[in-house]
């Protein structure tokens, strides 16, 4: 991979992030709480767990669930911002990890859209 590949991913993230600008993120609390790589990966696991729960065929997705998912995806976007900072200023996050995190985010966006569709047709 090279510096160019990671820069393309970073630019894509910065241009297309969707939820971290929402009203529930008006302060920097989430960003400031992201201190380690483990915090960043924990944010990813939380989103994945929400998506897995909501994808369960027996789970009826409601508006509150959609808002909750927006919030945890927004927190993951903030975690990626911290990962970018760690990548640019430390050796704690490497290129491959950062690109993978950004790819995960765009996969979560796709899952989010599927859940919106599921909610619409229930």
- From the list 69, 38, 67, 45, the residue with the least C-alpha distance to 55 is 69
Rounded to two decimals, the pTM is 0.89
Residues 6+ apart with CB under 8 A from 106: 12, 16
CA dihedral over 48, 117, 114, 75, signed as positive or negative: negative
Counted residue by residue, the chain has a size of 122
| pLDDT tens, per residue, the chain with 122 residues | 458 899 999 999 999 988 876 666 666 788 888 888 999 999 999 999 999 998 887 778 888 999 999 999 999 999 999 999 999 999 899 999 999 999 999 999 999 998 888 777 66
């Amino acid at each position: 991979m090279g510096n160019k590949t990671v820069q393309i991913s970073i630019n894509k993230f910065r241009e297309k992030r969707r939820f971290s600008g929402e009203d529930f993120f008006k302060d920097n609390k989430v960003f400031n709480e992201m201190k380690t790589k483990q915090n960043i990966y924990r944010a990813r696991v939380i989103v994945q767990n929400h998506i897995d729960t909501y994808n369960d065929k027996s789970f009826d997705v409601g508006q509150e669930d959609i808002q909750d998912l927006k919030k945890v995806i927004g927190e993951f976007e903030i975690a990626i911002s911290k990962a970018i900072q760690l990548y640019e200023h430390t050796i704690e996050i490497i290129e491959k990890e950062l690109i993978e995190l950004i790819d995960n985010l765009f996969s979560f966006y796709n899952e989010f859209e599927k859940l919106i569709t599921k909610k619409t047709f229930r």
